[in-house]
Structure 1
Amino acid sequence: MGQQVNVYRKLKMFPGAIVEGSWNGSFDTGGTTYYVNNITGSSTADGLSWNNPCDQVSTAITLSEASRLIHPGTTTNDYIRNTIVVQGTGTAYTALTALPSYCDVIGLGVDPRGNGTGIARIGADTGTGESGVVATATVRGTNFYNLQFQAGLDGYPFKGTNFFRCRWENCVFATNGSPAGQPAAGFEAGICSGNVWKNCHWITASSIGTDSAIGMNITSTHFHNCLVEDCYIAGTTAAIVIAAGCVNGYGSIVRG
């Protein structure tokens, strides 16, 4: 018979700890939560609390990827799942050129529809050629919640290469407040497999006629087993464009 351990206050599980057997359904994911605030944060912070937050989402992404990859098994079975919490402030977060894998990125603030203070938004509030996200590396298993991505003339609110089993929920893909024209596409990717877009909104924070030229643009060979549900997708040329060369377009649903 095993030893009995009585815990009267708090049992803290550090990353990498393993719990075996039954423990009321609880388990340790081994992940870490990083906090981001572009008013009070620092580029050298560890981001582990609101008392010491990161200054930018990109800073937290770098920390998240580093911590995830030091755990055994992450090259074949990424059971480590981190969280990045982004505080909505009066200032937009700088554009992203890299994204995490196996991570939840959560905007903490007002609803992302509209523009201005309180929205956790990524990409400059004004300017031509600005983008929110332009990333080239493959992304797997990352979920985005309650965030706004914005861009100016010929930019992209959100552009990537390959996304597998990712989710965008209650997110906004927007034209910024002073774009001098329309973005090229609200969301653009080459390959999408097993992704979900739920309750998302393609908007312009500027004026009528500056919506993205294309709402959702799939440019390569895969758009299969995806779900687009309860979304408002706008584009002055087309709402959704699937490349003629998309030979794996089966099992996807667009509804609501």
Structure 2
Amino acid sequence: MRLSELLNNAPDTTSAQVENFLGYRKIAWGKRKPISVGRVVRNHYCLSCGDTRSFVSGEALSCLISAESVLSIDVALRCSGCESGTEAWFLVGCGDDLYSQAPEVNLQRFTENRRDVAANQGLRVEQIDDLFERAQIAFDDSLGAGAMVYLRKIFEAVTSQAADAVGLSTRRSNGKRRDFRSLLAEVDATSHIIPSEFSEDGYTLFSELSEVIHGDSDELRALEKYDPCRRLILGIVNNVRNREELAEAITSLGWPSKVGQPTEGRAS
């Protein structure tokens, strides 16, 4: 396995043995060394191309020895379609000897600078996409509570959009915002925005996010909760988008649409 394969799997932190890439002579702390480990490839939605593209590094990379068994790698990447540029940074640690024939290494930290060039793969709606992007940047910088704030904003935005789509008011008669629990219950009863796998736990997810935001969890716990919460929020977003696509397809065929209409019950 070449080191580039491990970098391509970021943010996965699983240890793996890779081919020797530093040589067998120890490099002094703070020194840089050119390395040939294969091209780094990250798949993103390119805002210029308007489609998912591979952002690819050059063949030659450079690393900085930052500790006895830790090195830092900065990588410039270009879109394969339009050559727009992004950057990625990897901190790689070694569990044994960096200079052995097959050192066992793992990703200790990873962050990307996608600026206004690229977005996470598969996300299309601009407002939601921007919030997912901000959540990931906060997480990459170890800001767990900050990342959860953006996830909750996505949940609230999707629920409000679904309410508007079926004519449900998000405000009370006095003009103030409705309690989110009651709004979510009414929206989900009408439009089924929560996937069936956790249809009974939609507000529980919102409560998880809120507890972290309001200081009931420390940063470490917030970081631990981020990935599963993000996957559930993404599940809601994809569920809504799938229903919208189905509704468009049904309408184009001239069939009577039932998407978004209340039903007697839902599958468990």
* Same fold flag (TM > 0.5): no
TM-score of the pair, normalised by structure 2: 0.26
TM-score of the pair, normalised by structure 1: 0.27
Higher relative contact order (CA 8 A, sep 6+): 2
Bigger helix share: 2
Larger of the two Rg values belongs to structure: 2
